[in-house]
Amino acid sequence: MKLTLHIWRQKGPQEPGRFVKYELDKVNEHMSFLEMLDVLNQELIARGEEPVAFDHDCREGICGACSMVINGIAHGPQRATTTCQLHMRHFKDGDVIYIEPWRAKAFPIVKDLIVDRSAFDRIIAAGGFISVRTGSAPEANSIPVPKDVAELAMDAAECIGCGACVAACPNGAAMLFVAAKVSHLNLLPQGQPERFIRVKAMVEAMEREQFGSCSNHRECEAACPKGISVSFIARMNRDYRKALWKTVEHQGGKAEGISQFRG
Amino acid sequence: MKVLSFYSTTVGKKLVMAITGLILAVFVLGHMAGNLQIYQGPEKLNHYAELLRVSMPLLWTVRIVLLLSVLLHIVAAVQVTLQNWRSRPKKYAVSAYQEADIASRTMIWGGLVVAAFVVYHLLHLTLGTAHGSFKPGDVYHNVVAGFQVPLVSLFYIVANVLLALHLYHGMWSWFQTLGFSHPKYNRARRVFATVYAVVIAVGNISIPVSVLAGWVK
Ligand code: HEM
Ligand code: SF4
Ligand code: FES
Question: DSSP assignment of A105-160, as one string?
Answer: TTS-EEETTEE--HHHHHHHHHH-------SSPPPTTSS---HHHHHHHHHHHT--
Provide the CA B36 distance to its chain's centre, in angstroms. 17
DSSP A69: E
**What is the mean predicted confidence (pLDDT) over A15-36?**
96
A140 has pLDDT over 90: no
pLDDT 10s digits, A35-73? 999 999 999 999 999 999 999 999 999 999 999 999 999
CA separation for the pair A74, A226 (Å, rounded): 13
What CATH number corresponds to the domain at position B49?
A: 1.20.1300
pLDDT 10s digits, B188-197? 999 999 999 9
Cβ contact, residue pair A218, B186, below 8 Å: no
Query: Looking at the 3D structure of chain B, how many domains does it have?
Result: 1
Strand intervals (E) in B154-193: none
Among the partner-chain residues A71, A104, A222, the one whose CB lies closest to the CB of B99 is A222
Residue closest via CA to ligand 1's atom 43 equals B21
- Spatial CA neighbour of B41 closest among B124, B144, B146, B148: B144
Give long-range contacts, CB 8 A cutoff, 24+ apart: B168-172.
B168/B103, B168/B193, B168/B194, B168/B197, B169/A216, B169/B101, B169/B103, B169/B104, B169/B107, B169/B193, B170/B21, B170/B25, B170/B107, B171/B25, B171/B196, B171/B197, B172/A216
pLDDT band at B115 (very low <50, low <70, confident <90, very high): very high
Q: In this predicted structure, what is the pLDDT of residue B45? A: 96
CA separation for the pair A120, A206 (Å, rounded): 8
Q: In this predicted structure, what is the pLDDT of residue A260? A: 40
The vertex-A247 CA angle with A241 and A250, nearest 5°, equals: 155
| Domains defined along chain A, listed by start | 3-111 (3.10.20.30), 118-243 (1.10.1060.10)
CA separation for the pair A11, A14 (Å, rounded): 8
**B-chain residue closest to A73, CA distance:** B96
Q: Does A230 touch chain B (CB under 8 A)?
A: yes
**What is the mean predicted confidence (pLDDT) over B151-163?**
98
Q: Name every residue whose Cβ is closer than 8 Å to that of residue A51 and which is 6 or more positions away in sequence.
A: A40, A41, A44, A45
Give the residue numbers spanning the domain of B22: 2-91+100-213
Candidate from A37, A55, A62, A67 with most ligand 3 atoms within 8 A of CB, to mutate? A62
Among the partner-chain residues A6, A100, A212, the one whose CB lies closest to the CB of B83 is A212
Distances from the Cα of A155 to the Cα of A68, A158, B49, angstroms: 24, 5, 54
Cβ contact, residue pair A216, B92, below 8 Å: no
A257 has pLDDT over 60: no
Q: Name every residue whose Cβ is closer than 8 Å to that of residue B149 and which is 6 or more positions away in sequence.
A: B132
CA separation for the pair A98, A23 (Å, rounded): 12
Among the partner-chain residues B6, B84, B104, the one whose CB lies closest to the CB of A244 is B6
Q: Does B15 touch chain A (CB under 8 A)?
A: yes
**What is the mean predicted confidence (pLDDT) over B128-137?**
94
Residue from B13, B98, B187 to probe the interface with A (highest A Cβ count within 10 Å): B98
Among the partner-chain residues B88, B92, B93, the one whose CB lies closest to the CB of A105 is B88
Partnered with residue A21 across adjacent β-strands are A6
- Tell me the pLDDT of chain A averaged across its residues: 93
CA separation for the pair A184, A236 (Å, rounded): 10
What is the count of residue pairs from A and B with beta carbons less than 8 Å apart? Answer: 142
The CA distance from A133 to the nearest CA of chain B, in Å, is: 32
Which residues in chain B (116-155) have CB-CB distances under 8 A to chain A? none
Ligand nearest, relative to CA of residue A165: 2
- Spatial CA neighbour of A73 closest among A49, A56, A90, A94: A90
CA separation for the pair A185, A176 (Å, rounded): 15
> Model-level pTM?
0.94
* Secondary element (H or E) of residue A222: helix A219-223
Other CB atoms within 10 Å distance of the CB of residue B171: 21
Kindly provide the ipTM of the predicted complex, given to two decimals: 0.94
Q: Is A58 in the pocket of ligand 3 (CB under 6 A)?
A: yes
**What is the mean predicted confidence (pLDDT) over B114-133?**
96
Amino acid at A80: A
Weakest mean pLDDT among A135-149, A157-171, A173-187, B102-116: A135-149
CA separation for the pair B48, A53 (Å, rounded): 70
